[in-house]
Structure 1
């Protein structure tokens, strides 16, 4: 785990109103503990629920044009700003980019994405050559991982 690796907590999906508020798609359970984003470039003043996400007021944004210009901007914090996790928990950012190996020792590729389609996290692994396969993030499929690699049960490996 890299302590200063930026972690995306939300992304600006558009402007809201004419006073500079923005609509956010939030990837965290709670943005409220975080006020400073993008290495101090953006300061969160307030949050409130919106019809398709969260409405935020950012101190540096004062009009609709400036808010619209932020569309697509990711709001990031350093990994070290996030709470420590209990045993068996993980942040997606800690797994993406890890080397993946099977329980029988074969090198599989790299973790490129983590998705949740409603039944829990699914790890996407890209093999050399670009072919991808998915593995459920369960103890029987992914028995272990650390800062350098993710181990996948051989029964879950696709050719």
Structure 2
């Protein structure tokens, strides 16, 4: 189970080269900032990693992980999600949110009718999209995470109000 005081900031995509370097995928707004938030942890917190960025590489960043010396050791880390302590991350303005804070929030329409809960936040390059699932929905709703479509996010009340765009309701 993910510690709520940790946020996923990246993942190890596999080995890069033969000397134990890894290809790192950063989920940070400024990709190289991932190195500033260490140590980084596995989702269950059982392992921690100290990383040093080496260079930009296709699809991410080259990095050294303390204690990883071989390609085989680096390959064994492929797919490892990396989490940082929330306290080490930047404080966000009032209108910005960490994806982890949105997942699990109740979703209702502007009339107060419950729609479901946020299952995931996706971003395919054109902005964030909330995936909303609920028992009354035939399939998951994909709601653009814009001020027009999501006028209210209340983390204290653990709810989101959506104004569904035409055709999504």
Q: In which range does the TM-score fall when normalised by the shorter chain?
A: 0.7 to 0.9
CA distance in 2, matches of 1:41, 1:8: 13
User: Any residues of structure 2 matched to 1:131-142 within 5 Å, and which?
Assistant: 131-142=139-150
Is residue 153 from structure 1 mapped to residue 163 from structure 2 by the alignment? yes
Mean Cα deviation higher: 113-122 or 144-153: 113-122
TM superposition shift of 1:155: 5.1
Aligned to 2:17: 17
Q: List 4+ stretches of structure 1 deviating above 6 A.
A: none
Deviations, residues 6-65 of structure 1 (Å, cap 9, x unaligned) = 211111111112221111111112213123111562111333211221111011211111
1:97, distance to aligned residue in structure 2 (A): 1.3
Q: Distance in 1 between matches of 2:101 and 2:146?
A: 16
Query: What residue ranges of structure 2 are gaps of 5+ in the alignment?
Result: none
- Cα distance in 1, alignment partners of residues 95 and 75 from structure 2: 40
**TM (normalized to structure 2)?**
0.83
Gaps of 5+ in 1: none
Residues 1:6 and 2:6 are matched in the alignment: yes
